[in-house]
């Protein structure tokens, strides 16, 4: 499963830019990869991991702006289509470190 975090945060004042930067740095440090500006995704192994990381995101929410989270399966994520532009070749999607069979 993957968690996708989509956010729209104000960056008008110096303080709001700092809050945006801190939230973005938290996402990167917590294992999220940037898909495009303000859209990050993270691979999770099951709903327990999803719940854990959702609680971590909730604990680091900035005071202003809008943050949305969506959980999708790997099959749904793999079926995503890029409709404009080209896929970046400089950064490869991280593969799961371990194969889980059920």
Range of the domain at 26: 2-78
Q: Is residue 26 part of a domain?
A: yes
Q: Is residue 29 part of a domain?
A: yes
What is the pLDDT averaged over residues 5-29?
Answer: 94
* Residue 98: predicted pLDDT: 65
Q: Is residue 67 part of a domain?
A: yes
Using CA atoms, how far apart are residues 52 and 36, in angstroms rounded to an integer?
Answer: 24
Model confidence at 20: pLDDT above 70: yes
Model confidence at 14: pLDDT above 80: yes
Closest C-alpha to 5, from 98, 44, 93, 84: 44
* Residue 53: predicted pLDDT: 95
Q: Is residue 45 part of a domain?
A: yes
CATH number for the domain harbouring residue 24: 3.30.70.240
State the DSSP H helix or E strand holding residue 20, giving kind and residue range, or none if neither. Answer: helix 14-29
Q: Is residue 6 part of a domain?
A: yes
Helix, strand or coil, per DSSP, at residue 94: coil
Q: What's the pTM? A: 0.77
Model confidence at 6: pLDDT above 60: yes
Q: Is residue 14 part of a domain?
A: yes
Maximum alpha-carbon separation in the chain: 49
Q: How many domains does the chain have?
A: 1
């Amino acid at each position: 499963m993957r968690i996708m975090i989509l956010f729209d945060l104000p960056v008008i004042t110096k303080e709001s830019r700092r809050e945006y930067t801190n939230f973005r740095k938290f996402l990167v440090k917590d294992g999220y990869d940037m898909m495009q500006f303000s859209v990050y995704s993270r691979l999770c192994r099951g709903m327990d991991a999803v719940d854990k990381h959702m609680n971590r995101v909730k604990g680091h929410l900035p005071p202003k702006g809008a943050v949305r989270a969506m959980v999708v399966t790997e099959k749904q994520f793999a079926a995503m289509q890029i409709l404009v532009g080209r896929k970046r070749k400089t950064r490869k999607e991280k593969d799961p470190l371990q194969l889980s069979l059920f």
